């Protein structure tokens, strides 16, 4: 911090007289004796003895300690799945072999650092490979969680409680008729297993410090992360959240820190079924009405009120006024002042002029007080737009005062009725991509914030679409602000959006395309479309192909759509007879 790096002299009134950077001798410092890993606290305490020179005993390769921990963790997996009898038998056998080989390296007196690291890598890879077979069906979206015998289900108690910093309804076990359906929202992977947040119609599941699970309204950021591993090969799963596994004890849902090593029969209380609940959803008339259907962008562009306003009694106008407009409520993003929204046309593949929203990047943008010119735009740029209303201190504010957003831009989603959201768009430069579409919840509602990105989309021509049930739960959910960000714009580029719509089924989503512009030929050759989002190469094609480095090393093979995360650099994407070169920054 500043106080630790600068030597400052003050006068009697607290004003700075002079400041100099501290010398190395003046800098604060700490001495670190060692950093190690231990199998247990007991082992750690025993290591701190006078005989062992208080932890500075005989020199030992630190990777041996890491290998020791790796062996222990792999052993818990091996023992915990002794009752497994499924498709992962070969991976389970390979894991035991990797463990045995690692154990031999651990006991080898003259093992090298390279041998330790190789053993660690091989064991971790074997564990991840084995776990990859144990995931529940990746198409899970809306489910009941029942006990292994199917006699009881997870449900939410009627009365709210306050625990830790949360107030919500505790989850417990009860009659199947009371079961709470939960949306399984995939949020990543851990050790080869898919990780899910669980969201219900009335909120999101969070975990308290003691393992208690609460259904809390609108707590997106605190959503608990769950994994489910098929323990017997017949779709009976453990349920793990944080450091706890859950099990049935009578009518109670209890926790344990490690999955017990017991017989198959004794294991049953610790196992759960995951049963599809979507077929049983029967929406009310209210849940089916007033849902968002589309922004068509066929109306006329309107003046953007956020480009002029009153500051300290003086009316000010930004240079953006008259350059950027509103269309269907969408307008320039406040913290990307180089963004421009306007009405434009782009031809369909049949030559018809389509009314579109046209998003571009400006050369410069104003400062936030509207009084002076801001910075020069740096390319590639990332213009964005928003739909939001609220209480703004000044017209140039980035956010409403206190984060309060009114309902002037509110839309309702219910993926149990209109399940898919799609956007038909095309950039004049093949490097232009949709970065994210963000939807902010209405405060006090059960809705949860969520964001869509191109890496998770499927495609039909120039139409990209998402399954909303992978982000939010069944039920009518209100959203008061929407944001749309991009990446990859060069000077004079544009992104054209023909429409954004919701659909009931995947079959309802049309396959539509724009005419191919000259600058798009390289990207669109044949049926191959390639976009880069962050460090992910997104390939949309019906053909088989591969991604290569420029020196010919194959990074990934694919057959159809693929989203491959890579290191920064230049890559070549080949599908059939078509080749596309992309740069990942």
CA distances from 47 to 35, 42, 62, 167, 495 (A): 13, 9, 14, 44, 63
What is the model's pLDDT at position 70?
94
Token pair in block for residue 41:
């606290």
CA 384 to chain centroid, in Å, comes to 20
Angle between helices 113-132 and 89-106 (to 10 degrees): 160
CA distance 430 to 88: 42
- Do 379 and 491 form a contact (C-beta atoms < 8 A)? yes
What is the model's pLDDT at position 61?
82
Strands 153-156 and 166-174: antiparallel
Cis-peptide into 380, omega within 30 deg:
yes
What is the model's pLDDT at position 168?
94
Q: Average pLDDT, stretch 374-384?
A: 86
- Of the pLDDT bands very low, low, confident and very high (cuts 50, 70, 90), residue 239 is very high
The 10s digit of each residue's pLDDT in 68-116 is: 999 999 999 999 998 888 888 999 999 999 999 999 999 998 999 899 9
What is the model's pLDDT at position 3?
60
What CATH number is given for 525-585 in this structure? 2.60.40
CA distance 381 to 429: 12
Token pair in block for residue 453:
């990105």
CATH architecture classification, 61-132: Up-down Bundle (1.20)
Q: Average pLDDT, stretch 413-423?
A: 97
Domain 294-516 has CATH 2.60.120: yes
Q: So where are the chain's domains?
A: 1-30, 61-132, 142-280, 294-516, 525-585
Q: Average pLDDT, stretch 23-43?
A: 82
Domain 142-280 has CATH 2.80.10.50: yes
Tokens 């309107």, located at residue: 302
Q: What is the DSSP string of 315-351?
A: EEE-TTBTTBEEBTTBEE-TT-TTEEEEEEEEEBTTS
Could you tell me the pTM of the whole model? 0.76
What is the model's pLDDT at position 59?
67
What is the model's pLDDT at position 75?
94
The 10s digit of each residue's pLDDT in 276-324 is: 999 899 999 999 999 999 999 999 999 998 888 887 788 888 888 888 9
């Amino acid at each position: 911090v500043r106080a630790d790096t600068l030597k400052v002299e003050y006068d009697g009134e607290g004003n700075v007289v002079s400041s100099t950077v501290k010398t190395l001798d003046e800098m604060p410092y700490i001495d670190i004796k060692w950093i190690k890993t231990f199998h247990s606290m007991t082992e750690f305490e025993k290591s701190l003895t006078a005989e062992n020179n208080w932890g500075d005993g005989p020199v030992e390769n630190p990777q041996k300690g890491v290998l020791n921990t790796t062996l222990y963790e792999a052993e818990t997996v091996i023992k915990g799945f002794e009752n497994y009898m499924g498709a992962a038998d070969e991976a389970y056998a390979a894991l035991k072999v990797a463990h045995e080989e690692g154990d031999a390296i651990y006991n080898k007196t003259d093992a090298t650092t390279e041998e330790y690291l190789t053993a660690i890598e091989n064991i971790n890879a074997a564990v991840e490979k084995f776990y990859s077979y144990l995931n529940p069906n990746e198409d899970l979206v809306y489910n009941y969680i029942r006990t292994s015998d199917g006699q009881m289900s997870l449900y939410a108690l009627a009365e709210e409680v306050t625990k830790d910093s949360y107030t919500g309804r505790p989850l417990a076990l009860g009659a199947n008729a009371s079961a709470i359906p939960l949306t399984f929202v995939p949020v990543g992977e851990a050790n080869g297993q898919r990780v899910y947040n669980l969201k219900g119609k009335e909120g999101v599941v969070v975990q308290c410090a003691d393992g208690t699970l609460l259904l809390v309204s609108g707590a997106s950021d605190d959503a608990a992360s769950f994994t489910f591993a098929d323990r017997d090969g017949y779709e009976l799963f453990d349920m793990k959240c944080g450091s706890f596994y859950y099990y049935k004890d009578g009518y109670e849902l209890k926790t344990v820190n490690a999955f017990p090593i017991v017989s198959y029969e004794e294991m049953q209380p610790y196992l759960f079924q995951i049963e599809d609940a979507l077929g049983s959803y029967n929406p009310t008339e209210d849940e089916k009405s007033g849902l968002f259907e589309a922004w068509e962008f066929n109306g006329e562009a309107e003046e953007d009120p956020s480009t002029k306003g009153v500051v300290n009694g003086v009316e000010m106008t930004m240079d953006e006024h008259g350059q950027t407009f509103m269309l269907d409520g969408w307008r320039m993003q406040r913290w990307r002042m180089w963004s421009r929204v306007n009405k434009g046309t782009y031809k369909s593949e049949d030559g018809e002029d389509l009314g579109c929203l046209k998003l571009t990047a400006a050369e410069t943008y104003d400062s936030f007080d509207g009084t002076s010119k801001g910075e020069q735009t740096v390319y590639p740029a990332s213009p964005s737009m928003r739909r939001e209303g609220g209480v703004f201190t000044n017209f140039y504010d980035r956010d409403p005062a206190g984060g309060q957003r009114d309902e002037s831009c509110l839309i309702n989603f219910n993926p149990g009725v209109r399940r898919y959201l799609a956007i038909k768009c095309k950039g004049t430069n093949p490097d232009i991509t949709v970065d994210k579409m963000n939807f902010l919840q209405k405060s006090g509602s059960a809705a949860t914030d969520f964001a869509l990105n191109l890496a998770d989309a499927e495609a039909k021509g120039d139409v990209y679409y998402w399954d909303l049930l992978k982000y939010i739960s069944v039920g009518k959910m209100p959203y008061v602000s929407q944001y749309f960000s991009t990446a990859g714009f060069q000077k004079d580029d544009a992104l054209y959006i023909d429409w954004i719509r919701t659909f009931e089924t995947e079959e309802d989503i049309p396959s539509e395309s724009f005419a191919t512009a000259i600058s798009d030929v390289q990207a669109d050759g044949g049926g191959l479309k390639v976009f880069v989002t962050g460090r992910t190469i997104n390939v949309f094609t019906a053909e088989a192909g591969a991604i290569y480095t420029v020196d010919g090393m194959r990074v990934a093979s694919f057959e159809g759509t693929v989203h491959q995360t890579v290191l920064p650099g230049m890559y070549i994407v080949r599908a059939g007879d078509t080749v596309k070169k992309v740069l990942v920054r």
